[in-house]
Structure 1
Amino acid sequence: MSEAHHPDFLDQTPYPAFVIRRNGSILAANAPACALLLYSSEQLPSLTIWDLIAPEQHALFQQTDQLPHQPPVLAHEWLMLDSQQKMIPVNATITRLQEDLLGIELRDLRPIKESRKSYQRQSAILRAVADASYQLFRSAQPDEVIPQVLAQLGEAADVSRVYLFENHWENGARLLTSQRYEWCAEGIEPQINNPNLQNFDYLERGFTHFYETLQRGEVLAAKVRDLPPAEQAELAPQGILSILALPIFIQRQFWGFIGFDECRSERTWKPYEVDTLRTAANLLGAFFERRKTETALRASEELYRLLIENQGLGVALVDDQENFLFANPETEKLFGVSEGEMVGRNLSEFLPPDQMQIVLEQTALRRKGFRSQYEVEIVLPNQQRRILSIHATPHFDEQGQFIGAFGVFNDITEQKRMEQRIRNLLMIEQSHRRESEALREAISILIHDLSSQQAAQQVLRGLEKIIPYDRCALYLEENGKFRLAAKTGYLTSNPPETFPVYHPLLSEYFKPNCGTWFFNQLQEQNLLDLLRENTPGISWMVIPLKWNNRLIGLLWLVRDVSHAFRPAETTLAETFAGPAALSIQNSRLFTQARRLAKVDALTGLLNRRSIFEAGERELLRAQRYAEPFSLLVIDLDHFKAVNDRHGHLIGDVLLKKVARRMKSALRRSDLIGRPGGDEFIILLVRTTAQEAVLTAERLLGALRERPYRMNGALHRITASIGVASVTEDAPTTLQNLIHRADEAMYAAKQKGGNQVQQG
């Protein structure tokens, strides 16, 4: 075969191939070889075979010197280098074409090796799941078996981190989740002690997509960069690039989830991985369900013992959130509910706030293992009050975790009433003092730390306890319009943001003495349009909220088709409306009081305390994110002479006008405050020293561009401004920045004022 005939060899094979000399120089290559190694057909002939195979495998090629003429074939497994210096495993078949020419045919081994790796991983995961099944059903102690199971699953799946989260309710109102167990691969930072992963609120932290996916029983398998921004912001700091989360259900309730993180590189989760690991999640669910059943069995045995020992008394079991899990008929009679209606309700539904506080203090003792006897006053559904003596016993699971309490109830109302009559006769004056103090404390508790948003959410949560609904919206009156303040239950639609108080469709229902009203099987399209509801046949209830006989807002409740409102529920609604209106009014007063506590009463700017707190906060943020930050200290020139000549009343009016003019010359992100007198501090976020000087010059121009006319006289106002900025060469504090700016301001004063100086 002559050298000119070597293209025949390249054309006859569908695989990547070369023709080379025995010294390693490449004469020609076919298109598959160029595609495999990422070279052009012009580039390859300029290389040698030594450039394309790993150095440690040069000796394999040199064995071709021993290649016999018959059969003229030799096969090796090589690691070849592409144009990006990436290793490619190949099977190389070397054929002697003639004395000095060799033909090399390559077969890419990556698909075979990847398939083999996937098979090995799948087998490892299956073995790990099988081992987990054996361990979970051999042991009842989660602290012993769960860490082993997570380690086996993590090593088999070749992931960075495996963890287990458990859901729990806060006061029966907020669904939270907390990390309970974790396994990490070598070199991966653990997160088990991360406080952000304890009592994690799915919805408040922006994990709505995450929660809804798992709550539906679906798997979340994704690259973190493809998730919603709020979820990215939480997961990225943990070093997570790809995540697989599988829900765990117990008795059809979303109990929690098992998660798998990949922190080393992005990963696409294979279907066999998801399916097999989902089996592991189901096994964990079965394990915890078995523990729950065993715990319930022990509780039933304890209840039976109590029932035998306390015949004729009320006996009940509550969980750690004071929800009734069991109540005997005598307990239902004591609390004034029908047979079978006690389970699932919360003790707080029957207790005033001060009495509920007593229960919570007693529960704190129960968590420590103490039994006790105490008394509370309950309110029955008919508003009758009853005093109960409670003998409480703690209830723990096999791990020693507090999960609730047993209570034995005895009605001592008549006994207490007699005792009270005697005390009233002997200590009337002392009783009055106690009642006055109790009233003061109750009012203090009622208004403590309330905000408008908290009050709105409390109203929605409280209403749900007495009148079930599918969707609910709270509107507050503002300048002749109802404005949406809070909503819940709206998943695919939203109620209107605003509508007039005297809407033509609703005006007849909002008369001064109008109470709660509702429609069942609503068909009118104009009302459905107002509600932004698409399905005829829904039920709609409206509860007016009044304060001092003035309409301040309304609640509207929507139930889906076939769930009608009952007339008896309007009584519950109107009973609820008074406390709801009171809570909203208190929250408005509280919000107004908080705002006044932060601002300077004269100018409406931030006061001394608020501007200093804002300064500390903005400086810390600037240092954390390596952003520029500057501040200005401003003192009005010769302002004392204005007060001395024209009086403090004129001076105060001028200060207000100066404050408004300076504020109008700033960006919305800048913060301005008045520490006192005629001195001002301005915080310039994301502002360099040069930009801060320009801002100060602009403020000087704004002050002196036109004089202020007061009582027929013109007052020209100038100022001395000191500028200080964060520098990269040295750390600083807010006090240091203010001191530098203050020194610069005094330097401006000494030079005649009406100018800017840098500190």
Structure 2
Amino acid sequence: MLEFIYHFQKVRLVKGRFFYFFMNLSDFFLESNPLSAIFHNPRVGIAIVNSDLRFLFVNDHFADLMHLSNAALLQRSEGEITVWGDVENSLTLFRQLFSGEILHFSLLKRYQSDIGGAFVVELTATPLKDMNGNINGAFMVIVPLSARELPYNTPYPEDWYRQVLNGSPDTIAITDLNGVILFASSAAVKMFGYPDPRYALGKSLLAFIYPEDRERALQDFRTILEGNSPAAVEYRGVRADGSLFFFEVHGSILRDEQGAPQQMIFVLRDVTQRHRAENDRQQRIRELEAINATMVDMTTELDLQRLLEAIVERVALLLGALESNVALYDPDSRSLRMVAAYPPRLQDDHPSVPLGQGIIGKAAQSRKTLLVEDVSVWETSSAHGNAFRTWIAVPLLHKHELLGVVTVSADPSQRRFSTDDLRLIEMFAQSAAIAIQNATLFSEVQRLARLDSLTGALNRRSFYDQGQHEIQRAQRYHSPLSLIMLDVDHFKQVNDRYGHLAGDEALKAVVQTCLAQVRQADWVGRFGGEEFVILLPETSLEGALAMAQRLCTAVETLRFPGRDERMCITISVGVAERTLEMTQVEQLLNAADEALYRAKAMGRNRVSA
């Protein structure tokens, strides 16, 4: 028998209760044990099998059905008493049950009794798990169809079968072939937010499915009726309070003795959390892909202004913002200057913001992300002109150095920023700060490469490039273009008398004087040694001569504190205007050089054209 067979097992019993036992199984199933009444139910067969489908327990009713003693039946496996034609389907379901693919199954099958006759039973099986949650067997309920007192279209015997299904944590519904609910377990109706299973009886299962998913569900039901059980399908359900959720459905057919379809049985599972987690995962993937694509575009843009314009446009589109701005920090003035905005028409608003003032200044000062849900009631809303908006301001930091602040805003009646938005814009800001730093360094390298290291004027190559560009522009628009060439008089004597450092100081002073006299559109370059050139677009010879005379006067009055009071310098200046024949910058330079030669020949410290 079962003497001294010990088993440590968690058994799922009726009414949703769990029992742990470690005892002699033969003692457990004695009729004196109160729990044994369930297992000795005279109307249904009860059996427990291990993962090899060997019987560990059978009740008397099941042994009687097989015309065997309990001991003889325990020597066999479930497969050995199954009619050969039903073995494959039965084994497949048991394998799925033991692997965890399904939580429960119910099927019609035939058993071969010991006296040679076959009979039809409805077998319901649910897994048994050990203390660690591992499936190591199954609990079986065997209902002989001929023994039923109720007609077959009643989906369960009034007592035990209902208790088993209602006690199961699985959500189970049985319908007729038209999808009308005949039985719904307690767990099923609770999943839909109803307190009593009776609420579902007589209603179509489709009524609990979101309207837009019903046509698809109807097609799936037809597939089940055709004998092709689809894989788990997912629908949106409607709870009693009207809220939506996602649930997964496994469906199959219940058949009569002749194999004709009688009802459909569905196992349902709430997958809302899984669906939400998957949606969140997909959303993060889309966000990361968007940020990655944005960063690829931005890191390849080395023009600082174009980069800043790309940053404000991309961050506004990424967060669905109404507008965005970026301000760069100037440590000398301790203020932030607006340098780009999206849409571009907003760019002139609030061009400069002191550190610590307004949303941008506060974020820069604290170096922390600032979320203002309604700027109209914010304590310093007067520092920022856009009332009735929600704002995020994120400092742009590179190695703890403040580069600036990027902001986005939205109409709170249409869009409110969430913690996910904060996380997203902070990730964006980190990459944007790196891109800004790279573009700034590149711009500085480019600038230094174009300048003379001593005086800060354009070097000769850069001046040639800019000069040729201005020549072509003057030709295209038929505009005047003049050039000034100047030379520091007797510069070798300055070096010899006062030293080379004094000479360097004199050259820098000449360039600073030129830069102070010229317009923003003009170009000052060092041609070589103590010679300098000034390119004057849109300037006639008369205007260039006036500029040259002012330069002569200004340089002559230069003084050098800390140097010998006698140290002074003068310049000789040659001026030329482009003629129609001049198509190369070298031609204009030669003309100005000839004029310079004449100025020197006339005694220096003068202008010649």
State the TM-score, normalized to the length of structure 1: 0.39
- Higher normalized contact order (CA 8 Å, seq sep 6+, divided by chain length): 2
State the TM-score, normalized to the length of structure 2: 0.48
**Which structure's CA Rg is the greater one?**
2
